[in-house]
Chain A
Amino acid sequence: MTEILTYLGKDEQFEKYELFFGPNHPGMHGNFSYILTVEGHTIKKVDPDPGLLHRGFEKLAERRKWMQNIALIPRICVPEPDINEVIYSIAVEKLMGVEVPLRAQYIRTIILEMARLGSFLFGFGGIGGATGLYTASYWSFSDRDYLLDLFEWLTGARVYHMFIIPGGVRRDLPSGWIEKLLETIDYLQKRLYEYDRLIYNNPLIVKRLKGIGKLTKDEAIEYGITGPNLRATGVKYDTRKMVPYAAYDRIDFEIPTQTEGDGLARATQKREEFQISLDIIKKAVKDLPDGPVRAKMPNPLKFKVPKGDVYVKIESSRGEHAYYIVSDGSDKPYRMAVRGGSYTAGLVLAQKILVGMRIEDVALWMATMDICPPDFDR
């Protein structure tokens, strides 16, 4: 059992303490902990200590059939569960050589972008929580609920949908759903300007975020930082555009970038990508083709996947979320390795970048980097 605060000794100037920055700390995101060695307010050493959230997904997946895993894997990640279903389905389709109907690809795109919006709203709330601006979290969590209502109508579940399956999606969109979705998108568009006034044009927040955890392009690539955090350093790369999946190759969208690479740039990047996601949903709904939503698949409880392996990655709101899936030709996956978006940021980069920061900046850095413990403690 780790003590919350351990006295380590003193030199001429400061007393040294070891602080357990764990799940009971209000600034911590989820069940994760950093063991910080502090001198006064300044952090001298960081030791990440995951393990409180381990559920053994990789082992569990090996015991379940290909289709049964669909009920298991969304649970890896709470804020954005749909990405897991999509990666897994794409991997199975690639190994089996299944062609997914176009309408299903578009529906997947819409679902993914909705999940992304939900996750960004969580992120807005995170910044609010870490800076003491609780209005932001109340607003964003209640706005996220409108998206969850749509998910509930579509799939019957609010958080874990299990809607995207190998071969396509489970069923077609119900009538009236698209109209409601567009209404929600319009509402979120209006709210975005309110968020601008509350967070991004707020001089206190801007001042607080500026300079937190500054990263350069080369450092970000070397440390395996991906997604919005990479683009905030100036790298114009988006998996949705460069290695397209779902219907992203048919939808035209911009890739915004920032140059600074600090906390403010990362927050601004996510605000701009929120806008891009709203636009993508509008375009996808406009072009939504008719047709079947599922390819013909063999008996879901018996089908076997040919021998082979594939690494599938997609762009989540936290960066590159990927699975490495190996099949030995049987009815169960032989091995499934998960690479979460914030794996390296939370475990490796933190050891370097938090040194020299003040204790109160740790929560803010985690909020701007979108550290999500299930990414590495899966």
Chain B
Amino acid sequence: MEQKELIKYIQENFKYDKNIQKIDDKQFSITVEKDKILNILSFLKLLDFKQLALITAVDWIKENRFEVVYILFSYSHIQQILVKTFIDRDKPEIETIKTLWEVASMYERDVHEFFGIDFIGNDDKRPLILHNWKDKPPLRKDFDSLKYSNKIFGKFKKDEEND
């Protein structure tokens, strides 16, 4: 299907509130509410969006919320869809989609580690990349890497001879 037909088809058949935005000729985004995420993703998977390319998150600290982005691709429609949803920053929880895609489990483990978002139903919360990490999740905007470096490794003294 072409992008226009695809957007029309989704608008007609997926009956929840959604906000569809075109990014370019081969890419568009859908924003849905957090509790509809499993519905829209299974709907899109049946529509032949078989590849889950990535799950990632964005920390919108000023609005006090996280944006979770699911990136899907279809080899028959040649279209990329970004499915977005917003969750509260004080209670970062969202349903897991590991029942839909096996690879989702690893993406969710990654996002959990770097953003501290809990994926309800995904119990694999072992550290993946950051072993022995005790600070707050590092990709959150309020994590200051300079402060962390000074705390862990001590302040670098200015080499006066080189100045």
B75 lies within 8 A of chain A by Cβ? yes
| A50-B128, A324-B71, A337-B54 known; A242 vs B78 contact (CB < 8 Å) | yes
Residues of A within 8 A of B53 (CB): 224, 311, 313, 320, 322, 339
B58 at the interface (CB under 8 A from A): yes
Chain A residue numbers with a CB within 8 Å of B69 are 324
A260 within 8 A of B: no
A309 at the binding interface (Cβ < 8 Å): yes
Known A94-B24, A224-B53: A311·B131 in contact at CB below 8 Å: no
**A348 with B103: in contact, given A50-B128, A50-B129 (CB under 8 Å)?**
yes
- Closest-by-CB residue of B relative to A326 is B58
Please tell me if the beta carbons of B82 and A59 are within 8 angstroms of each other in the complex.
no
B129/A51 in contact, CB under 8 A: yes
Check B54 against A56 for contact (C-beta < 8 Å).
no
Do residues A59 and B138 form an inter-chain contact, with CB atoms below 8 A?
yes
Known contacts A63-B145, A221-B51: does B71 contact A311 (CB below 8 Å)?
A: yes
- How many whole Å from B113's CB to the nearest CB in chain A? 10
Main secondary structure of the interface of B (DSSP, over half): mixed
**What are the residues of chain A within 8 A of B51 when measuring CB–CB?**
221, 224, 226
Task: Tell me if A's interface is mostly helix, strand, loop or mixed.
Answer: mixed
Total number of A residues with any Cβ neighbor in B under 8 Å: 37
Give every chain B residue within 8 A of A335 (Cβ-Cβ).
Answer: 56, 58-59
Asked if B105 and A348 make an inter-chain contact with CB atoms under 8 angstroms apart, the answer reads yes
B22-56 contacts to A (CB < 8 Å): 23-24, 26-27, 29, 50-54, 56
Beta-carbon contact of B130 and A51 below 8 Å: yes
A310-B24, A337-B54 are known contacts; what are 6 more A-B pairs with Cβ within 8 Å?
A50-B129, A60-B145, A339-B53, A344-B103, A347-B106, A376-B110
Binding site for B on A (CB under 8 A): 50-51, 54, 56, 58-60, 63, 94, 221-224, 226, 235, 237, 242-243, 308-311, 313, 320, 322, 324, 326, 334-335, 337, 339, 343-344, 347-348, 376-377
Binding site for A on B (CB under 8 A): 23-24, 26-27, 29, 50-54, 56, 58-59, 69, 71, 75, 78, 80, 82, 101-103, 105-106, 110, 114, 127-131, 138-139, 143, 145
